[in-house]
Every structure is written in C-alpha cells, then in structure tokens.
Amino acid sequence: GVGRIESVVRSLQGSLRMNNTELHKQGLLLFAEILTRQPEEIKLFTSSAMCRDAGRALQEAVSSPVLEVAAEAVKAISAFLRKDHQSVPPVQYRELRALLEAMLSRCADFSQTPLNRRPLGHASNRDSEKAILRRGKFLLSTLEGFRNACRLAVEFQSEPSAQENPFTAPSAEKEDTLEAFSEFLLSACDSLCIPMVMRHSEQATHPNLMEVFLSILHSLFVIVPHMKEKFSKKLASSSFIRLTLELKARFCGSLSHSALNQVCSSFLYYMTLNLLSAPEKTGPPSQEELSAVSAFLQHGLPQISSRSPESLAFLSDRQYVEGTARQRQYCILLLFYLAYIYEDRFVSEAELFVAVQSFLLSLQDQGERPPLVIFRASIYLLAICQDKDGALDEV
C-alpha cells in the first residue's frame, strides 16, 4: 500500500516536469483509477505529507494549459476529495482550498475563452456547438469536484479529529480550520460557481449539470448554517425561485429526471424555510406555523412541474379542491409570494390578483382555514398587485 501510492505520486510529479502531454494524461488516469478503486476501509494515504504532495501534483496538473490534461486532472481531483483519502490528521484544509481554487480558476479561464466565431458557413456553427458541449463537460466535472468538497465539509462536521487541528502553528490557525474551509466554499460558490453556471445556461441547459449545481447550493445551507438566511436572500434576489421552477417545468414533468426533481424540490424546501425564518419587520413565524409550512412543502413541492400560466390556472381552480391539490396550491402561492418579496416577478400582477382572489374564495366556499403564513402571503400579494395595477377593475 504505502510504497505504491508514494511511487505513483512521485512518478506523476516526475511526468509533469516532462514536456509530454500523453504522459501527463496517462499518469493522471492511473492516479484517478487508484483513488477511485481504493476500498474505503483501507487508507491509501498514511501520512499527511503524502496527501499534501498528491494535492500539489494535482494542483499543478489542473493548471495545465492543455485542456485534455486539465480535464483528466479535474476527474482525479474529484476522486481525491473522498473522506477516507483526506482524513489523515491534521486535515490539510489550506491545501484543499488551494487545490479547489486552481480547479475553479482553470474552469473559469476555459469558460471565458471566446468561442471561435468564423464568418458564415455551417462549420463555424457546428464548431461553436462542439465548443459549448466541451465547456459544459468541463464545467460539469468541475462542479462534481466541488460537490465532493462540499460533501467532505458536511462529513467532517461530525468528526472531532477533523475539526481541531493540534499541529498547526498559532499564526496559521485561522485559515487551517474546517470553519474557514466552509466559509471559503460558500464564497467560492458565490463568486465563481454561480456566475459560471449562469453564463453557461444562457447557451445550453443540461439537467445533470443543474442537478449537481443545485445540490451544491443546498449543501451550503448545511455547511455554513449561520449564513443560510443571508445566502437564501441573495439567491432569491437573483431569481433562483424562477430558475428552479423553470427547470422543474422543463425537465421534470411525466416522471422524467426524478433525481433533478428531487434536488430542485429539496433546494426550494430549505430556501423557503430559510427565507421565512429570516427575521423581517413582522418577526419570524412561530415554530408551530413553520412545521405546518414544512409539512405542505414536503408533500407539495415534488408534485409541482408546471409552467407559470398553468400554475396560475391551478391556483384559480374553483372546482372542489381536495387535500393534496390544496397543499400544492399552498406551495405555489408561497413561492410566488417569496419571489415577489425579492423582486423576482415572473407572473403578471393582474393575473396573479385574479388567481389569489379565486383561491381565497375557494377556501371560503370549502370552509377551510389555511395556515396563517398562507393567509398573510395572500393578503400581501393582493395588496401589491392592486397597488401595481391601479387599473384593476373594482371587484
């Protein structure tokens, strides 16, 4: 075991010094293979120094100007970011951070190189489609690596040995901790992952890329709990409610992409609860109210995969509304309400006004009392829509 990984890392370091792209790729492939196949119960790295050297070799490889080499390095980094590979105390958080920074900046460089736009002719079109596809693949690999880093941070929360770092010099203490690493993950996601994904999705939308991306956002609520309300507000203000609902509508109807639907639903679930718990002027809802909201969100969110016009029609339904449909209406109403609060207005005021009114009348007809949060949200939306649209018919 020990000697073998040591010699693999040494030969990888050696090959990177040579001017031979094929050799670089082969060395990385082999390393990734070993990292992936190693059984979890047998530690591959028995010393912290060995782990650090491996990380540094990968950092050098991922910064390679040759795209194929960088791409193999990203896959190897993903395999390297596994708890059993990283848990030789003391965990090298600063090294991990440097490795992720190198990976993200390589991806950012690649996603910003201009697509070769040749003058007219079909070839140039096909070339740019291919280039967009290649970017998408590289971005997906990078996000998978970043997701593994997030998973590590979550797993290390329950590992006492991963939190205290008895061997670091006092001066380095602040940076070399799980807490600092967690904050780094949040800021790297905010400044690099989100902009890269948003830019890419203007050209193409891959359901599996979005699934990895949203699972990263969702995990950050757990990784940096004291920032979850602030982060949720930032996401809501950047149209993430609309974005997630659009993904559901586009890919998750008719039971397809159930993994994406699951991730979208739990992302919206936590984001909604975070936004409702954020202390606003009114003060947060009571624990009792939050558990009522939590219950209908859990049932209703996975069922929602309609576009906004259908959602509005569903909200306006004056037929008898049974229990599960009602929960779905609550979810839709709450999402429209939060989107409106954060200036993400993707349905017209006049239509929303009519839908909310019908919804309230239907509750009245059926003698139902909705959770207080829903009643508040309805009144708020009616007031906002009335305000925005003075020309609404006096009803």
**pLDDT truncated to tens, each residue of the chain (395 aa)?**
456 888 889 999 999 999 999 999 999 999 999 999 999 999 999 888 999 999 999 999 999 999 999 999 999 999 999 999 998 888 999 999 999 999 999 999 998 877 665 555 555 677 888 888 999 999 999 999 999 999 999 999 998 777 766 555 555 557 789 999 999 999 999 999 999 999 999 999 999 999 999 999 999 999 999 999 999 999 999 999 999 999 999 999 877 899 999 999 999 999 999 999 987 766 778 899 999 999 999 999 999 999 999 999 999 988 899 999 999 999 999 999 999 999 998 999 999 999 999 999 999 999 999 999 999 999 999 999 987 655 445 54
Residue-level pLDDT at 395: 45
Q: Phi first, then psi: give them for residue 305, nearest 5 degrees.
A: -150, 30
**97 three-class SS:** helix
Q: Are 339 and 346 in contact (CB under 8 A)?
A: yes
Residue carrying the six token digits 């509005």: 312
Residue-level pLDDT at 304: 95
* 332-336 contact pairs (CB < 8 A, 24+): 332/300, 332/304, 333/359, 333/374, 333/377, 333/378, 333/381, 334/272, 334/293, 334/297, 334/373, 334/374, 334/377, 335/241, 335/245, 335/268, 335/272, 336/311, 336/377, 336/381
CATH 1.25.10 residue ranges in the chain? 1-112+133-164+175-223
Length of the chain: 395
Q: Which residues contact 134 (CB under 8 A, 6 or more apart)?
A: 67
What is the rounded CA–CA span in Å between residue 256 and residue 355?
Answer: 29
Query: Rg of the Cα trace of the chain?
Result: 25
This model's pTM is above 0.85: yes
Task: Specify whether the backbone of 317 is left (phi greater than 0), alpha (psi in -120 to 50) or beta.
Answer: beta
CA–chain centroid gap for 224, Å, is 14
Residue-level pLDDT at 159: 86
* Class of domain 1-112+133-164+175-223 as given by CATH: mainly alpha
Residue-level pLDDT at 118: 55
